[in-house]
Amino acid sequence: MKKLIHTIFLLLTFVSVTAFAADLDQAKNDGLIGERADGYLGLVDSSAGADVRALVADVNNKRKAQYERIASKNDLPLAQVEALAGKKTIEKTRSGHWVLLNGGWQQK
C-alpha cells in the first residue's frame, strides 16, 4: 500500500507540472475549476469557457490513463486508485481553492 501511495504522489506531482500547469493554476486561482474526491478535476463555474473545459478534459484524460496503469500494475480496482488519488489531491489543495465534497463545492 505504501508503494501505491508513493506512486500516486508521484503521479500527482507529474500531473501538476504538465505543460498546462500555468493554465491549470490560473483556472484554480480564478475559482473556475476544483478537485473532486474521485481524483479528477471538475468545473466549479459552469459558465467557464471552452478553453477551461478543454483543459479539464485533457487533464482528466491523462489522470485516468495514469490511474488505469497504477491499478493494473498493482492489481487494484480503478475506483480504489481514483479514491486514493482524490484524497491525496484534496489534501494537497491550496487554501482558497475549491474541492467537491459531500456533493457540493467548498472553498478550502
| Mean per-residue pLDDT, 44-69 | 94
Q: How confident is the model at residue 86 (pLDDT cuts 50, 70, 90)?
A: very high
- The whole-number pLDDT of residue 18 equals 45
Rounded alpha-carbon distances, angstroms, from residue 86 to 7, 47, 50, 51, 99: 13, 24, 24, 23, 10
String of DSSP letters for 7-39: HHHHHHHHHHTSTTHHHHHHHHHTTSEEEETTS
Per-residue model confidence as pLDDT tens digits over 55-64: 999 999 999 9
Q: How confident is the model at residue 17 (pLDDT cuts 50, 70, 90)?
A: very low
pTM for the whole structure: 0.80
Q: What percent of the chain has pLDDT over 70?
A: 80
Rounded alpha-carbon distances, angstroms, from residue 57 to 10, 43, 60, 94, 96: 21, 10, 5, 21, 23
